Amino acid sequence: MPNSTVFGRRSGGTVTVIEEPVRRNTLRNAKITFWVLWVVVSLLSATVLASKWHPILALLAGLLTGLVVAVIVAGVVLAWPVIRVIWWWLPEIASAAALAAGWVWLADHLRFPYTLGVLTVMVGLPAAVPQVRRLVVAVAWCLVTRHRIRTCFAEFIVYNRTGSLPLIFWCIPTPVGERLWLHLRPGLTLDAIQARAAQIAVACWASSVVVSAASAANSAFIRLDIKRRDALTGKVVSPLLEHIVPGAPAKAQDDSDAPTALDLPAVAADEVAPQGKPVSPPAWAVSKKKPPAVVAPAPVPGAAGDDLSDWL
């Protein structure tokens, strides 16, 4: 049986989970992270502690604090490829753990025949109810699609030097297939993924794949719509068919009164012509000058019962 290793070269009988370019890049990033954090955190910690402790004690405490923080963060960076693989298989791992925990719980509280009956009901109910069965199948296709997309990027869509794969997020079922979100790594663009849509559809066992941007602010965040069927081709049963009597003769329609052409009466020209003499424009409008200003007449004191006291 071939052995399996996480880091290392591929040799005879050994399957490497993390490829060599990814391993070298991760190791280099972990070393850089370790030294940078150790120096920065040590100086900051020693500066803060020097206000209360002796400078030598503050320096030693700062070096120890920086060493702990640098080791933890560098360890996370070094283990990131393994964490990413766990993320890829997280739904399957969680499902297997839930099934194992459920079996142990049932075995501790029930006898074996009852435990077997409960499992039979849990498995047979989704298979018997169409709505539940379709939901289970849709969720299963979502899990398959995540792994098929990862295979696509590992086989023919790796553009960067290190060969790191994009971060695949969640996948949800749709009426025509699945919808998946992912975050691209440096070296990939939306246009490059759209150019590979036909190959992605073949790898996902789908009819077509539509690639579009998932965010207006981040071009690396994209969405893939995997289409396996056409929802518009389904047949809809109309209730009107129940009102048709089988074998009833068709009734001929009377179309004698139906118009066959437009029959508009002729309209005389004098009926549409404007009545009366056309009004000619004023002289100031023809000469393109401004119209004369209209001066309002001054009020006459004492006229129309005005109060004369306002004019004194």
Mean pLDDT of the chain: 79
* Span of 161-175, 231-245, 252-266, 274-288 with lowest mean pLDDT: 274-288
| Residue 267, both tokens | 């309209």
Per-residue pLDDT reduced to its tens digit, 71-112: 999 999 998 888 888 888 888 899 899 888 888 888 888 787
Per-residue confidence (pLDDT) for residue 291, from 0 to 100: 58
Per-residue confidence (pLDDT) for residue 3, from 0 to 100: 46
Mean pLDDT of all residues in 278-297:
59
Percent of the chain at pLDDT exceeding 70: 72
How far apart, in whole angstroms, are the C-alpha atoms of residue 303 and residue 297? 13
Mean pLDDT of all residues in 271-288:
59
Per-residue confidence (pLDDT) for residue 161, from 0 to 100: 72
Assess contact for 73 and 37: CB atoms under 8 A. yes
Domain ranges of the chain: 3-88, 89-128, 130-230
* Span of 6-15, 29-38, 89-98, 196-205 with lowest mean pLDDT: 6-15
CB atoms within 10 A of CB 27: 13
CB atoms within 10 A of CB 7: 17
Per-residue confidence (pLDDT) for residue 1, from 0 to 100: 40
Structure confidence at residue 129 as a pLDDT band (50, 70, 90):
confident
Structure confidence at residue 199 as a pLDDT band (50, 70, 90):
very high
46 pLDDT above the threshold of 60: yes
Q: Is CATH 3.30.980.40 what the domain over 130-230 is classified as, yes or no?
A: yes
37 pLDDT above the threshold of 90: yes
How far apart, in whole angstroms, are the C-alpha atoms of residue 71 and residue 74? 5
Per-residue confidence (pLDDT) for residue 5, from 0 to 100: 47
Q: In terms of pTM, does the model score above 0.85? A: no
Percent of the chain at pLDDT exceeding 90: 33
How far apart, in whole angstroms, are the C-alpha atoms of residue 28 and residue 21? 11
* Span of 104-113, 153-162, 229-238 with lowest mean pLDDT: 229-238
CB atoms within 10 A of CB 177: 24
Closest CA to 206 of 236, 224, 228: 228
How far apart, in whole angstroms, are the C-alpha atoms of residue 114 and residue 122? 12
Highest mean pLDDT among 15-24, 106-115, 165-174: 165-174
* Span of 35-49, 71-85, 150-164, 251-265 with lowest mean pLDDT: 251-265
Helix %, strand %, coil % of the chain (to 5): 50, 10, 35
